[in-house]
Structure 1
Amino acid sequence: MIAHTPCISELRRALDALPAERQRGFVRLSTPCRMGSPLGWLACQPLFPRLYWRAREPGATRYALLGALKTFESLPALERDQHALAALGGEPPAYFGGLAFDAEAPGWPGYGGCRFVLPRIVLACGAEGETLTLNLRFDDRERAAELDAARAALDSLSLACTLPSLAPQAYTREDCPGRAQWGERIERLAAPEQRRATPKVVLSRETRLGGAPPPDPWALLDAWQARAAGCFHFAMQLGLDDAFIGCPPERLYRRQGRYLESEALAGTTHCGESAQERRALARALLLDAKNGHENQCVYQQILTQLEPLSRRLDVGEAHIVTLRSVQHIRRSIEAELHPGVGDRALLERLPPTPAVGGVPRKAALDFLREHEAHARGWYAGAFGRVSLDDSDLAVTIRSARITGQAVHLYAGAGIVAGSRAEAEWRELDHKIADLMTLLHPATP
C-alpha cells in the first residue's frame, strides 16, 4: 500500500478540502508524482478495469488508467454523458475505450461491442513529468457516497512492481484458418462474381499459442512497445485472466475541434535484411499495381464515408511507412467537419475501415460473417481517447489477446484482384513476427 506517500496524501488532503461549490459535475484533483513505469504500476493494482493508452507521436503522453467512474456500452450513452457534464460546467473529461470490429458478429465474452470508461484514477506521464489524478463526479450520485468511493480507490493503490521477465516458452501453435482453408477462401474471393460484389475483402487469421503458461500481458506490452516506434500503444484488462493489448500503426482519426486527420494504410511488403533491400522493396511497393489498388480502395471509401460530415476533404500523396518488420503504403486524409459533428457520428460511420474490413462494407462484412470461423472481437476495431474538445483513436490491428489458457495473435490481409494465397499467408506471418520473436523465437 502507498497510503503515506506524498502524492496520495496530497490527493487525500485535496479531497477533504474540496469546497462544496466545486462539488458539481465533473471534478479533477491532480498532483505531481513519481511512480516509475506506468505499465509496472498498472500491473500490481487491484482495481479493474486497467487501461493504457499512448498516441504514436514522439513524446506523446502515456496514460495509465484505473477503475471506472462510469462505463458506457453504446455511443449514444457516451454522447449523452459528455453533453450532460458539459452543461454543468467545468473542464470536459476524457473517456478511454473503443469498439469491436463488428458488433453484430459473435465477440469475446465480457467485452461487448462498445466500451468507453471514465476512469477513477489517471497516471499521466508526459514531457513535463508525471501527474496522478483522482476523478470525481457529482451529478447523479449522492455526495457522501462519491467521496467514500474516491477515498477507497486511493486507499487501494499499491506500489509499482517490477514487471516479470518474458521467460521463453515452448508454445504449440494453431492457426485458424489453416493454410488449406486460407487458400480456399482466397479462391472463392477470386471468382468473377464474388470479385464484382466485393473488390476487396480483408481476411484475418487467429494464431493461438498454447501448451505453456501465457506471459504477463503488461510485461509483454512493455517489451513490445520498445520495438514499436511510430505506433500507438494500448491495453485493456477487464479481469485477471483476460487482457487485450496492441501496438497498431494505423490511426482511425484524430480530431481537434472540427479539424480531422485520418489515413489510408493499406498495401504491405516486408522490410528486407538490409537498408538497400528495404529501399528497393519500398520503391517496388509504391509501383505495385495490386497494392496500389488496395490502398486506393481504402482511401476512396474513407472519403465516401467522410464526405457527408465534412465541408472540405484533402488527400495526400502515397508514401511509405517503415516499421520493424513490414512496410505499408499510407495516404493522409484531412477534413474540416461540419458544425456539430462529433465522435458519435464519426465512430458510427468510419469503423470498420476498408483497410480492415473491405469494399463495399456491407458485402465484405457479410462474407466475413459467413466464412471467418474465429471471433475477431476487438481485433481490427478501434481504441483511444475521446473528449468533447479533441479525440484520437487507433485501429486495433497488430494486437493480441492474452487469456488464462493461451495467447491469441491476429493479423489480416486485403484480398483484391491479383492476390495469391501463399504471398498473403507470408504477409500475415510478417505482421505477427515482432510478437512471435518476443514470445519465443523457436515457436514453429
Structure 2
Amino acid sequence: MLAQIRLLEQLNALAKTDQHGFVRLRAPVDVTSLIGWLKAQPLYPRIYWHARERDREFAVLGAIRELTDPAQLAELTGQQRPNAGSYPRYYGGLAFDYQQPVTGEWQDFGQCRFVLPRIELIRQGNQTELVCNLWFEGANAEQEMAAARTALQQLQPEKTLRKYLPTQRERQDTPDKPRWMQWLSQVLQPEALKTIPKVVLSRRSTLTFNEPLEPWSLLASWQCAAPACFHIGFQFSPDSCFIASSPERLYRRQDRQLLSEALAGSTPRTGDPEQDAELATLLLQDGKNRLENRFVHTDILTRLDGLAETAVVSDAHILPLQHIQHIKREIEASLRPDTTDWQLLKSIHPTPAVGGSPRRKALAQIRALEQHQRGWYAGACGFISEDVSEFTVAIRSGLWHDQQLHLYTGAGILTGSDADTEWQELDTKLGSMLGAWHD
C-alpha cells in the first residue's frame, strides 16, 4: 500500500527532528471499503464510525492512550491546539447505565472506554487519508517511533466482505413473552404510572449459529440495508465485537454549536408508499407516540439549561427507515463557553428515549426488572475532540461472541401502551436487523 510506504518515509524523516506533544502523519490512500480494510487488520482495538449524513467515516486501529473512567473524559476538553495542526480524536463509548458494575459478556467494553488510536483511516467527503498518530513526552521518542513503525508495517490490504449468514440453530429471548406481559401489567398500573410515567424496557434476543459469524460483514450488510443511520463497530479483542446501525443522534458539537434530537414514537413501514404515508400521518396524530416524543425533547431542553445560552426545538416530522418510521424533532443549541463534552454526556445521557422519565426512578425500575445487562446497548458511542464531537445512541445493536449474537431492542412503556403491541414493536425492530441478511 503506497500510503503505508509514504508514512514510513515520513516517520524516518521525523526521527531526525526534535518533536514534542501530539504529532499526526498523513498520506492520501485509495480504499474501497473501510470496513473491509478494518476486518483485514491484525491490530486491536478496531473501531468503525460512519455518520448518518454519510460524509464522515473513520476506521481506526491500536491505542496510544486509553480512558476507562467516565470522569476522565473531562480531561479531553480545554486543550491547546497541538503542533500537529489538528486535535487528537478519542473514539469510544459510555455504557447505558455507566454507574453500575460491568459483568459477563461486556467485560471488554467496561462502563467507559475511549482510545486515542495509533492508526486512523479517515474519509471526509471525497478525500480519504491514512493517518499515523504519535505522542511525544518525556524521553519516550525512541519507543514511540518504534511502536508507530511496527503498527504501520503490520497493515494489510482490505478484504472482500461476503454477505453470508450461517444457519441459525436457536433463538432465546430475555425476557420471554410471558415475563414481558408480567412486566407491563406491573408498570402500567395507574399508581405506578404516577411515579414513573415512562420507562423503556429492553429485550435481548440471543441467536446461536452453527458456525462462527463475521461481525464486520454483518455490519456492512446493516449499512447497505439502512443507509440513513449511524453505523458503528467496536472490537477491543478477538473475542467480542459490538456493532450498531442506529437512527438516533445523541448530539454533535461543532465548537460551541450543538445539534441533538428527540427520536421516539414509531410505527412499521410496509413498502407501499400510500400505506406508509397513511401510517406516518396516524403516527403523528397518535397521542401515546406524541407523548413519548414529548418526554424526550422536554427532558433534553431541561438538561441543557445551564449548559446552553439558547436552545430551540423543531416541529415534529417523520424519519423513514427501511422497515420502521419514527417521530423526530431536531434540537439546536448555542453552548456556554465553559461547557464540556463530559458535562453534556452526563446531563443528556441516557435520554428518556432509551431510559424513561424521571431518569433516576426509571433506571431503578430497569435495574429491578431486566435480567440481562444492557452494557453498551443504548449507550453513547462516538468520538471526542476539542473542536468536534459526535455521539449516537447505540440502539439497533448487537454483541457478537463466536457463534452467538445478542441483539437488543427496546420499547417505551407509558399511558396508552399495550403489552402485545409493544412486544410486536420489539419484533419489528428485530426484523429490521435480521432482514439485512435477506434483502
TM-score, normalised via structure 1 length: 0.94
- What does the per-residue CA deviation read over 1:261-285, in whole Å, with 9 as the maximum and x for residues that have no partner? 1111000100124111100000000
Gaps of 5+ in 1: none
Deviation by residue 1:66-91 (Cα, 9 ceiling, x = unmatched): 00011111243233255466477842
Q: Which moved more, 1:41-50 or 1:164-173?
A: 164-173
Q: Deviations over 1:168-220 (max 9, x none)?
A: 41331110000011111111111122111110000000000014224201100
**Cα distance per residue 1:1-56 (max 9 Å; x no partner):** xxxx3211110110111176661111000001123311111112110000000110
Pick from 59, 66, 73 the counterpart of residue 71 of structure 1: 66
Answer whether contact 2:213 2:402 (CA < 8 A) is retained: no
Q: How much does 1:129 deviate? A: 2.9
**Counterpart among 180, 184, 187 of residue 185 in structure 2:** 187
Q: 2:253 aligns with which of 246, 252, 255?
A: 255
Provide, for residues 198-247 of structure 1, a one-character-per-residue CA deviation record: whole Å limited to 9, x for no partner: 10000000000014224201100111101112110100011112000011
* AA aligned opposite 2:42: P
Report the Cα distance in structure 2 between the residues aligned to 1:355 and 1:428, rounded to whole angstroms: 14
1:204-243 alignment runs, 5 A limit: 204-243=202-241
Give me the whole-angstrom Cα distance separating, in 2, the residues matched to 1:19 and 1:214: 43
Tell me, in whole angstroms, the C-alpha distance in 2 between the residues paired with 1:275 and 1:224: 22
Distance, in Å, in 1 between the alignment partners of 2:84 and 2:39 is 35
Counterpart residue type for residue 243 of structure 1 = C
Q: Which one of 153, 161, 164 corresponds to residue 163 of structure 1? A: 161
Asked if 2 retains the 8 angstrom alpha-carbon contact of 1:50 and 1:236, the reply is yes
Which runs of structure 2 are paired with 1:285-324 in the superposition (5 Å)?
Answer: 285-324=283-322
The aligned runs of 1:110-129 (5 Å cut-off) are 110-129=108-127
Secondary structure of the residue that 2:342 maps to in structure 1?
Answer: helix
Distance change in 2, residues 1:308/1:393 (3 Å): same
Of 22-31 and 286-295, more deviation after overlay is shown by 22-31
Counterpart CA distance in 2 for 1:276 and 1:317 is: 23
Q: Displacement of 1:165 after TM fit?
A: 3.3
User: What's 1:408 paired with?
Assistant: 406
Q: Is the 8 A contact 1:25 1:90 kept in 2?
A: no
Which residue number in structure 2 is paired with residue 381 of structure 1?
A: 379
Q: Give the percent of matched residue pairs that are identical in Structure 1 and Structure 2.
A: 44
1:97 aligned to which of 92, 96, 105:
92
CA contact (8 A) 1:305 1:349 kept: yes
Structure-2 change in CA distance of 1:214 and 1:430 (3 Å)? farther
Helix, strand or coil at the partner of 1:367 = helix
Does residue 51 (structure 1) correspond to residue 83 (structure 2)? The answer is no
Alpha-carbon distance between aligned partners in 2 of 1:19 and 1:148, rounded to the nearest angstrom: 10
Q: Unmatched 5+ residue regions in structure 2?
A: none
Which residue of the partner structure matches residue 26 of structure 1?
Answer: 22
| Shift, 1:333, TM fit | 0.8
Alignment correspondent of 2:282: 284
Deviations 1:344-394 (A, max 9, x none): 110111111110000000000000011100110000001112111111110
Distance 2:165 2:335 in 1: 49
User: In structure 2, do the counterparts of structure 1 residues 141 and 115 end up closer, same or farther at CA, with 3 Å as the change threshold?
Assistant: farther
C-alpha separation in 1, matches of 2:18 and 2:260? 38
Please state how far the C-alpha of 1:112 moved relative to its aligned partner. Answer: 0.7
Q: CA shift at 1:318, angstroms?
A: 0.5
| Contact kept? 2:270, 2:276, Cα under 8 Å | yes
Q: Aligned residues, how many?
A: 436
Q: Give the alignment's TM-score, normalised by structure 2.
A: 0.95
C-alpha separation between the residues in 2 aligned to 1:152 and 1:79? 31
Amino acid aligned to 1:378: W
1-structure distance, mates of 2:5, 2:255: 36
